[in-house]
Amino acid sequence: MKINDWLKNTEKNLAGAGVGSAHLDALILLEDITKKDRAWILAHQDEQLSLTQIKRLSSRVKKREKHLPLAYVRGHSEFYGRKFLVNRHTLEPRPESETMIELLLKLPISTKVSIADVGAGSGALGITASLEMHNPNVDLYDIDAGALAVCRHNLALHELHLHTRKSDLLRRHIRTYDVILANLPYIPDHYKINQAAAMEPKIAIFGGRDGLDIYRRFFQQLHRFHWRPNYVLCESLPPQHNELAAIAEKYGFKLFQEQDFIQVFRLRL
């Protein structure tokens, strides 16, 4: 079968199954199997796919037709230009979370400050922070052992030796921190999510009636510690920002900066 014919058939099948990104998904799967980039694929649509390639592609397309997240089908995702392993224990890293790294890198801090990635999941945020800042002082926390196993695989993939710990937020923290990256569950319980997102771990998605219950517990927890971070970076839906800022303010943190889904809170002196 020619690449062009496979693309047309697959796009039709995926679209018929209700996959909104049918054309893009088909191209990405082709890139994975052929080991060719998109430009090559589009320029060589008369090339023949081997029977082995077609078989492997068919298996992946069937999974995607059932709305399994594309990252789970592939076994990995990209974040900030790097590859991260993912599976059913972790969320697929979102492009909007990359803004947290961009804002982190602009903070008036030393590149060797201590950083905690709370609710680390695949470890994309903490690992990226460590690599971009050349900083070994990054620790990664998650309440789910399965997610931490994926995180450790990603640490090995990127040849990093960072600490990971199973913990409810920072209850079992290893040390004190200057900066905290907190991409915690923030979707309201009643919020309707798409079929692919519904297959991701609910513990990492939903945050109570208004979506901010985990953030309330997190800031309450920080308030009980004998130390305070200088900066806390959070992700939430833009309509939640005013309420999240009020929660942070209650516990001594003032809004310092915000962009898209991300808010940066600074310790109030």
Q: Is residue 43 packed enough to be buried (19+ CB in 10 Å), middle (13-18) or exposed (0-12)?
A: exposed
pLDDT score for 198 = 85
Tell me the torsion sign for CA atoms 148, 112, 135, 268. positive
Pair 163, 139: CB distance under 8 Å:
yes
Task: Give residue 267's pLDDT band: very low, low, confident or very high (50, 70, 90).
Answer: very high
Whether 199 shows a pLDDT value over 90: the answer reads: no
pLDDT score for 167 = 98
For 240-265, how does the pLDDT look when each residue is reduced to its tens digit (9 = 90+)? 999 999 999 999 999 999 999 999 99
Tell me which residue of 122, 134, 178 sits closest to 160, measured CA to CA. 134
Mean pLDDT of the chain: 96
For 13-60, how does the pLDDT look when each residue is reduced to its tens digit (9 = 90+)? 999 999 999 999 999 999 999 999 999 999 999 999 999 999 999 999
Whether this prediction's pTM lies above 0.85 is answered by yes
pLDDT score for 197 = 84
Task: Give residue 119's pLDDT band: very low, low, confident or very high (50, 70, 90).
Answer: very high
Task: Give residue 269's pLDDT band: very low, low, confident or very high (50, 70, 90).
Answer: confident
pLDDT > 90 in the chain, percent: 96
